[in-house]
C-alpha cells in the first residue's frame, strides 16, 4: 500500500497491521488527513479530514495512526455490538492499548459514533473478560439456575487456590468456563487449562466447558447442559471449597 506524507492509515486496516485479527467488512482503507487539506475519498479509500491529526507510527513502511486512535476509528464505523466488543477486547488483551489510552482517545477525539464503543469499554472495565461471557450472562438466566458469582476465586479448605471460573454456582459448587481453543492455543495457555481442570476434578467440583461458538449456534443445547450439570451437582455432596467474590461478582 502506498500513501503520501499528508495521510496516514487508521481504522480496521491499521488495527490489522498492528496484529489484531480484524476482519474488515469491506476493502475500504480509512485514511486521516489534516483538516487543512482537501483530499476526498476514492474508490478504495475513505478519507477523513481531522483537526485531531496524530503523530503516526510507521509499520513496514506504512504510516499508521496510534493504536488507540486506529482501534476507535475502526469501531466508530461499526454499529453491531459483538464486533465492537471483540475488537476492543482483543486490543486490551493483546496489550496493544490500555483502558486509559482508549478512554483518553474517546474524550479527545471526534464524538461521532462513540456511543456504542463507550458503553462497551465501560462494560469491559467492569471486569467482563470476554465477549462470550457477555453473551453467556443472559443464557445462564434463561437456564433458570441460581444467581451465579462472576470471576470468583475458588479455594480448597486448606486455602489453596483452585481456579477463577467465568461463572460459579456456590450452593452446589458448579463452575462454568467459556473456553476458546484458538485463544488458548494462540496464547500457549492450553496446558494451564488442563491443569485447571485437573484441580477442579481433584476437589470434586462439577464443571461445564463451552466453546464460544456454541453460545450462538446451539443455545438450547448449552442451556440443557447447564441444567443437567446443576441437577447432577445438587445430587452429590457439596465439596468443601470456598468462593471469594470479585469486586463485581454478581452476574
Task: Pick left, alpha or beta for residue 208 (phi over 0 → left; psi -120 to 50 → alpha; otherwise beta).
Answer: beta
- Residue that wins the pLDDT comparison between 185 and 108: 108
The answer, yes or no, to whether residue 85 has pLDDT greater than 90, is no
User: Which letter does DSSP use for residue 51 in this model?
Assistant: S
Taking residue 165's Cβ as centre, other Cβ atoms within 10 Å add up to 25
Contact of 175 with 239, CB cutoff 8 Å: no
Structure pTM?
0.53
pLDDT, residue 1, reads 41
For 10-22, how does the pLDDT look when each residue is reduced to its tens digit (9 = 90+)?
999 999 999 988 7
Q: Please provide the average confidence, as pLDDT, over all residues in the chain.
A: 84
Distance CA 168, CA 154 (A): 9
Confidence at 35, pLDDT banded by 50, 70, 90:
confident
pLDDT, mean of residues 145-157: 94
Strand order in the sheet with 241-244: 161-163, 153-156, 241-244
Which residue, among 203, 179, 202, has the nearest Cα to 192 in the 3D structure?
A: 179
Q: Which domains does the chain have, with CATH numbers?
A: 8-125 (no CATH), 131-244 (3.40.960)
pLDDT at 41: 57
pLDDT of residue 250: 52
Q: Which of 146, 155, 150, 77 is nearest to 116 (CA)?
A: 77
d(CA 251, CA 245): 11
Residue 182: the pLDDT is 47
pLDDT > 50? residue 4: no
Q: What is the per-residue pLDDT for 3?
A: 42
- For residues 4-12, give the mean pLDDT: 80
Q: Greater confidence, 179 or 145?
A: 145
User: What does the pLDDT average to over 203-227?
Assistant: 90
Greatest mean pLDDT among 117-121, 166-170, 178-182 lies in 166-170
Amino acid at each position: 500500500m502506498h500513501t503520501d506524507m499528508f495521510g496516514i492509515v487508521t481504522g480496521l486496516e491499521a488495527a490489522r497491521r498492528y496484529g489484531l485479527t480484524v476482519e474488515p467488512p469491506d476493502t475500504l482503507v480509512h485514511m486521516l488527513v489534516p483538516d487543512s487539506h482537501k483530499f476526498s475519498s476514492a474508490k478504495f479509500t475513505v478519507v477523513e479530514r481531522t483537526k485531531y491529526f496524530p503523530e503516526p507510527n510507521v509499520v513496514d513502511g506504512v504510516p499508521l495512526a496510534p493504536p488507540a486512535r486506529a482501534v476507535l476509528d475502526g469501531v466508530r464505523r461499526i454499529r453491531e455490538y459483538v464486533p465492537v466488543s471483540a475488537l476492543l477486547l482483543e486490543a486490551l488483551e493483546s496489550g496493544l492499548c490500555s483502558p486509559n489510552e482508549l478512554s483518553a482517545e474517546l474524550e479527545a477525539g471526534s464524538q461521532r459514533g462513540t456511543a456504542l464503543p463507550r458503553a462497551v469499554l465501560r462494560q469491559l472495565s467492569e471486569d467482563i473478560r470476554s465477549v462470550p461471557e457477555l453473551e453467556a450472562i443472559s443464557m445462564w438466566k434463561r437456564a433458570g439456575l441460581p444467581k451465579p458469582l462472576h470471576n470468583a476465586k475458588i479455594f480448597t479448605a486448606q486455602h489453596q487456590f483452585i481456579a477463577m471460573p467465568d461463572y460459579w454456582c456456590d450452593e452446589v459448587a458448579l463452575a462454568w468456563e467459556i473456553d476458546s481453543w484458538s485463544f488458548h492455543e494462540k496464547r500457549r495457555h492450553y496446558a494451564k487449562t488442563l491443569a485447571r481442570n485437573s484441580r477442579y476434578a481433584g476437589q470434586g467440583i462439577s464443571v461445564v466447558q463451552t466453546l464460544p461458538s456454541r453460545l450462538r449456534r446451539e443455545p438450547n443445547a448449552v442451556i440443557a447442559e447447564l441444567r443437567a450439570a446443576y441437577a447432577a451437582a445438587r445430587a452429590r455432596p457439596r465439596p468443601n471449597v470456598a468462593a471469594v467474590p470479585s469486586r463485581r461478582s454478581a452476574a
